[in-house]
Amino acid sequence: MTVTAIIVAAGRGTRVGGDRPKQYQPLGGRAVLGRTVAGFAAHPRVTGLVVVLHPDDADLFAEAMAGLDLAVTTVPGGATRDASVAAGLGAVPSGTTRVLIHDGARPLVSAALIDRVIDALDTHPGAAPALAVTDALWRGAAGRVLAPHPRDGLFRAQTPQGFRIEAIRAAHAAHPGGAADDVEVALAAGLDVAIVEGDEDNLKITHAQDFARAERVLRERDMDIRTGNGFDVHAFCEGDGVILCGIKVPHDKALKGHSDADVGMHAVTDAIYGALADGDIGQHFPPSDPQWKGAASDIFLKHAVGRVAERGYRIAHADLTLICERPKIGPVAGAMRAEMARLMGIELDRISVKATTSEQLGFTGREEGIAALATVTLVRP
């Protein structure tokens, strides 16, 4: 089995508006047609790509494909859609056994949908995705409802529409022209066409507002969510208080460290670096460097937060647990949350500071120091 995708992109798309055909207008930083072609090129079962273009669009197509190192055959389209498809069928590589015919203005086709169409061709000469009509339907005229229309057995057609190559070639050769899609051509030739489950996200860019909907789908698909963990410990030493999350907490001891030993802030900072796969505090601020002796830990935290912004992420949530017998954290947890939220530039309800004991077990149970565990979630829309 050798599968070639034929992407039909010879239309003018005037209903969208703009200074160029809709398939060459940008969607999420890339031309619509560039996204469509890339979607099929990335599918492991698609071995050939034919793109049917308007004869005037060679430069626009080259621009749309910039940065995509793909082997694509292009062919001029005809005056109608079925003429363009026929041109594409004549340009498929030798050895092709199955074709997927797809609208260039459907840039969000999923790999799973492509698989469903290909799989259905094992048992049918044709297969196409569709969605059952669920809205009520009316017949109307002159702005008035004339009568309800039954929706039973009605589907909204999508592409790619798949066929065994020789069957669809013969069907197109015999068809008089004017078909709305290739399923119509196939049915006219008596071919059995299976319906496979469509995808609401597989929308066709037809009107200007469709770009906004497609952008929303892209944001949901491309969202990058990362989680990092941080852990730190500091031993007690002589002193009159500890600094935790930027707050001086009275205590009969202090915490020992190269910087100000803010164990809570260190754990959160390392969790941020971890989510970014960007090392840890020690790599960015080596303890062997004397300039960080006694440094305020908010320097480290602000650096990590800055790295988040540089990479295009935002901090969705941070959760910190302090582990100690004393001092008691509850009375100052609110102040700690507020200070951490301020330093991190996030809302108060996105930062949690809480404490627990180790039930007098281990070094924290013996009151030899404080441990901290943090988890941070980053999101890049």
Q: What is the pLDDT of residues 314-336, one digit of tens each?
A: 999 999 999 999 999 999 999 99
Residue 190, marked binder: no
Residue 317, marked binder: no
pLDDT at 56: 94
pLDDT at 12: 85
Would you say residue 1 has pLDDT above 90? no
Residue 234, marked binder: yes
Residues 144-156, mean pLDDT to the nearest whole number? 96
Residue 357, marked binder: yes
Residue 242, marked binder: no
Residue 285, marked binder: no
How would residue 8 be classed by pLDDT, with cut points 50, 70 and 90? very high
Least confident piece of the model among 9-23, 58-72, 336-350 = 9-23
How would residue 380 be classed by pLDDT, with cut points 50, 70 and 90? confident
Residue 266, marked binder: yes
Domain extents for the chain?
3-222, 224-380
Would you say residue 80 has pLDDT above 90? yes
pLDDT at 360: 95
pLDDT at 342: 97
**Going by C-beta distance under 8 Å and a sequence separation of 6 or more, which residues neighbour residue 189?**
167, 170, 171, 174, 175
Would you say residue 162 has pLDDT above 90? yes
pLDDT at 14: 76
Token pair 């498929």 in the structure block, residue: 92
- State which H helix or E strand residue 126 sits in: strand 126-132
Taking the whole predicted model, whether its pTM rises above 0.75 is answered as no
How would residue 69 be classed by pLDDT, with cut points 50, 70 and 90? confident
Residue 152, marked binder: no
pLDDT at 299: 96
The CATH-assigned architecture of domain 224-380 is: 2-Layer Sandwich (3.30)
Residues 102-117, mean pLDDT to the nearest whole number? 97
Residue 163, marked binder: no
Q: Which fold has domain 3-222?
A: Spore Coat Polysaccharide Biosynthesis Protein SpsA; Chain A (3.90.550)
Burial code (b: 16+ CB inside 10 Å, e: under 16) for 59-75 equals ebbeebbeeeeeebebb
CA distances (Å), 26 to each of 16, 18, 63, 106, 221, in order? 12, 11, 11, 13, 17
| Cis peptide bond upstream of 160, omega within 30 | yes
Q: Considering the chain, what is the average pLDDT of its residues?
A: 95
Least confident piece of the model among 23-32, 109-118, 181-190 = 23-32
Token pair 């935790």 in the structure block, residue: 244
Least confident piece of the model among 18-27, 138-147, 297-306 = 18-27
Residue 149, marked binder: no
pLDDT at 95: 95
3-state secondary structure of 329: coil
Residue 282, marked binder: yes
Q: How far apart are CA 363 and CA 361, in angstroms?
A: 7
Q: Can 3-222 and 224-380 be said to share one CATH topology?
A: no
Residue 12, marked binder: no
Residues 27-39, mean pLDDT to the nearest whole number? 93
Residue 358, marked binder: yes
Residues 142-164, mean pLDDT to the nearest whole number? 97
Q: How far apart are CA 273 and CA 253, in angstroms?
A: 29
Residue 155, marked binder: no
Residues 176-188, mean pLDDT to the nearest whole number? 96
pLDDT at 258: 86
Residue 303, marked binder: no
pLDDT at 300: 97
Higher pLDDT, 248 or 258: 248
